[in-house]
Structure 1
Amino acid sequence: MEWHSSDDSLGALMDNPPHFSESPQSNPSATILSENEVSCHCCYDILVNPTTLTCGHNFCRHCLALWWESSHKNECPECREKWEGFPKINILLRYGDNLGRSKTNQHKGAGFFFSGVLTALTCVAVIVLVYHWSSGVVEQHDLLISKPVSYWTPEEVVSWLENLGPWAQLYREPFQQENVNGRLLLMLGEEELLKPPYSIENQAHRRAVLAELDRVKALGVKPPQNLWEYKATNAGKSLFLLYALKRSPRLTIFYLYLFDYSETFLPFLHTCCPAITHSVESSFLNTQLEPSWRQWAEFLVKYLLLPYQLIAEFAWDWLAVHYWTSRFIIVNAMLLSVLECCALWRLWTRVRIRSLPRKMWDHMWKMLSQGFAFALLWPFVPQFVCNCLFYWALYFSPIINIDLVVQHLMHPETQAL
């Protein structure tokens, strides 16, 4: 069977395209094109909307569009020969559409099954979390973070003292006997703590109490000591950090270093890269010390190479306080590390070195614009919506990232495009 250039024969070919399922004897035209000629040299699959360049190479139209978007050059992805004009779909090769769609549908079928499993798991997780929240199992933040110090009762003052550490149990009885309330607590100084009835003679203990007391005087309330208390006192910042650390951990940590050094960055660094010390002073006093050069060296290596490991180590330190929440964060950090490795591999194999500065600038500009938009819209967003976004990113983001990791590992060629 010969192909003629007349319109009638071309129309007949379009109306009755040949298929691979036919044998060469029944359809001789099926043997004219080899499998290599009907395969895209980008995705190595059957051509879908095949587009032929002037050099003769064929590609899926979507693959060719992705190539042009990344390179911004009218060059063939295979031989680098430039094409002129606007490439058009080759209607003679379009019979690969049906095979390509059927093959794509097979991949989608497996993806739909896996997504269905994840959806079921997500529904179960929602039911479990709602049950826990309704039954009061989830940790509730301390009321002292919003109650002014001057209104604290003697029982609340003792509770604040016990939270300073096990060593503070030695001085619980004097505070109870004196019925120290919030007003009296604000009047205490180093001289009063040194004399009876408190008699805090240990200098380290006295410094720790005074440091925490100075924080209370400065804030007017009890400072947050866990995730839920931090969220209650810094709702906007906690939501911003939750999404920003996931999207760009290095830029976010650098932002904390520049604009939130003492309150957030120093405790974060001391938790992830602790100093070797046996001090019994308060955690706040220890985290306000300047890091040693060993801590800085360890932190910078992890910051450059394994930023998500810093987040996992920070969450690991809170396992005793937030049992399940810390585990969700650690798993999500592991998944994000895998996704970052896949992204770096695609960057190394697919993107040219000279285009890296532009991509880095685009990423930085995108993060800055999103942060600026978040700051503008935050006062107008209802608290209920913010809570939904916070818990979704905290508990359900790992489930979504599992699906992404599976897609990258099972279909690396398609993800690379």
Structure 2
Amino acid sequence: MPNSIDIRVTSDLDMQHQMEGELSDEVVDDCSYIKPCTANISEHEFSCHCCYDILVNPTTLICGHNFCRHCLALWWESSHKNECPECRERWEGFPKINILLREATDKLFTEVVERRRAEIQANSKISRSLLAFQRYGDNLDRSRKKQHKGACFFFSGVLTALSCVAVTVLVYHWSSGVVEPDDLLISKPVSHWTPEEVVYWLEHLGPWAQLYREPFLQERVNGRLLLMLGNEELLKPPYSIENQAHRRTVLAELDRIKALGIKPPQNLWEYKAANSGKSLFLLYALKRSPRLTLFYLYLFDYYETFLPFLHTCCPPIAHINQTLESHFLNTQLEPSWHQWGEFLIKYLLLPYQLIAEFAWDWLGVHYWTSRFVIVNTMLLSVLELPHCWRLWTTASIRTLPSKMWNHLWKMTSQGFAFALLWPFVPQFVCNCLFYWALYFSPIINIDLVVRQLMHPETQAL
């Protein structure tokens, strides 16, 4: 007699087999239900309304009608109209192939589509029409890009015009004597200095000079008396400059004004007032070719400009007990090998960083101007990187020396032309060019960076 457990297990297995059979029947029924739907699709539903045959490379217009690509090309070539062949609704732009509909027709009617494609390729008239239609679409794309570029250039033109107006107003405002100081000692002979101007010169030597301000005022030291002072006079009362570093600084600055006859420039505006042509040349030359410009300063302006620039960008390692009272004394020392190494690495790889570091050191003197210079150097570095990359990837070793020579010749000829034309250029025009390059050049460079990032393959620096 069978066990009750065996009976129960047998009945469960029978129920499971019965359920599996029902499921398989349902799947078969579903498949039989799907197959008739696929079989009921006719060629008429996927036919072109021009040739009344299966669509080949179906192209959908904005009105929703579909046509073969070659049928639409033949219609466009014969009618010279951008209209739907069926409803005559005008379509804009250039119609594209409906990829989803093309894949559907290729799968459903493979043999018919392959036969029709072979016939189309063998027909030279249809091939010429398709080629003309594609050229028409390419011309439309180029015209759109030109319109986009035209809008960008229009924006840049408006920005340039507004910047020119702003520069003119600012230069006129500065030239009227509102912004710049009225009395600059860089253009006045030392022998004509008043006691107040002597104190003004002394205070700009450093914060420590405030200790000796009162003795100079009490003695009413003017320019002529200042030129007669020496080491013994400064050591004795009433001046009593007992600190040797302070006294050396004053004597070094006295030697400078004795040699120059005027006060040497100590900031950007004083340097511009004393060397207006040179400052304009350096401003544009450092922007166009910083490496060649720094090399020019090394050859022809070593002590006055190059050494202070190098010591500012690559300062020496100062000891704890070393006094730094005089900026001039420290910038006239010969650089160490460590400074030369740091300078040459930055000079070859990141020359604009040297200018940014120089501007950063003058941040306390020229608050906004230094920031404008730093931003401009960052933008110029961004613009230089893709240019160097294209030069490295596209130029061969043979053509690289010729390109370097062309750049050198271009910069040299522009420098000579500037030197010849400089005496004939009005000062107002020079001021406009100077402030334009200083304050509004970053705005133009922002536009160039944006265009470089949006269209890197079409922008040439």
Q: TM-score per shorter chain, which class?
A: 0.7 to 0.9
| 2:333 partner letter | L
Question: How far off its partner does 1:178 sit?
Answer: 1.2
Question: How far off its partner does 1:306 sit?
Answer: 0.5
TM-score after normalising by structure 2:
0.68
Question: What are the ranges of 5 or more consecutive residues in structure 1 without an aligned counterpart?
Answer: 1-18, 32-89
Deviations 1:49-72 (A, max 9, x none): xxxxxxxxxxxxxxxxxxxxxxxx
Change (3 A) 1:151 1:131: closer
Decide whether the 8 Å contact of 1:336 with 1:401 is kept in 2. Answer: yes
Aligned residues: 341
- For the residues of structure 1 that align with 2:421 and 2:161, how far apart are their CA atoms? 33
The equivalent of 2:128 in structure 1 is none
| 2:293 partner letter | T
The equivalent of 2:450 in structure 1 is 406
Change (3 A) 1:28 1:215: closer
The equivalent of 2:237 in structure 1 is 196
Matched, 1:24 2:69: yes
- Please list, as runs of the form range in 1=range in 2, the aligned pairs for 1:14-413 lying within 5 A after superposition: 23-24=68-69, 26-27=71-72, 95=136, 98-108=139-149, 111-112=152-153, 114-115=155-156, 118-119=159-160, 122=163, 126=167, 129=170, 133=174, 138-140=179-181, 142-277=183-318, 278-413=322-457
- For the residues of structure 1 that align with 2:234 and 2:206, how far apart are their CA atoms? 17
| 1:288 partner letter | Q
Decide whether the 8 Å contact of 1:141 with 1:228 is kept in 2. Answer: no
Question: How far off its partner does 1:26 sit?
Answer: 3.0
Question: How far off its partner does 1:268 sit?
Answer: 0.4
The equivalent of 2:123 in structure 1 is none
Equivalent position SS for 1:199: coil
- For the residues of structure 2 that align with 1:345 and 1:308, how far apart are their CA atoms? 17
Equivalent position SS for 2:71: coil
Decide whether the 8 Å contact of 1:150 with 1:182 is kept in 2. Answer: yes
* Larger RCO of the pair (alpha carbons < 8 Å, separation 6+): 1
Deviations 1:101-156 (A, max 9, x none): 33323532652575377458737955984697489774437521111111111111
Change (3 A) 1:416 1:130: closer
Deviations 1:396-415 (A, max 9, x none): 11111111111111101112
| 1:27 partner letter | L
* Structure with higher helix content: 2
State percent identity of aligned pairs: 81
Equivalent position SS for 1:353: coil
| 2:363 partner letter | L
RMSD between aligned alpha carbons?
Answer: 2.9
Decide whether the 8 Å contact of 1:226 with 1:321 is kept in 2. Answer: yes
Question: How far off its partner does 1:175 sit?
Answer: 1.1
TM-score after normalising by structure 1:
0.75
Change (3 A) 1:27 1:303: same
- For the residues of structure 2 that align with 1:346 and 1:312, how far apart are their CA atoms? 25
| 2:453 partner letter | L
| 1:235 partner letter | S
Decide whether the 8 Å contact of 1:141 with 1:229 is kept in 2. Answer: no
Change (3 A) 1:274 1:138: farther
Question: How far off its partner does 1:381 sit?
Answer: 1.3
| 2:254 partner letter | L
Decide whether the 8 Å contact of 2:167 with 2:436 is kept in 1. Answer: no
Decide whether the 8 Å contact of 2:346 with 2:353 is kept in 1. Answer: yes
Deviations 1:58-97 (A, max 9, x none): xxxxxxxxxxxxxxxxxxxxxxxxxxxxxxxx99985356
Question: How far off its partner does 1:30 sit?
Answer: 9.4
| 2:71 partner letter | S
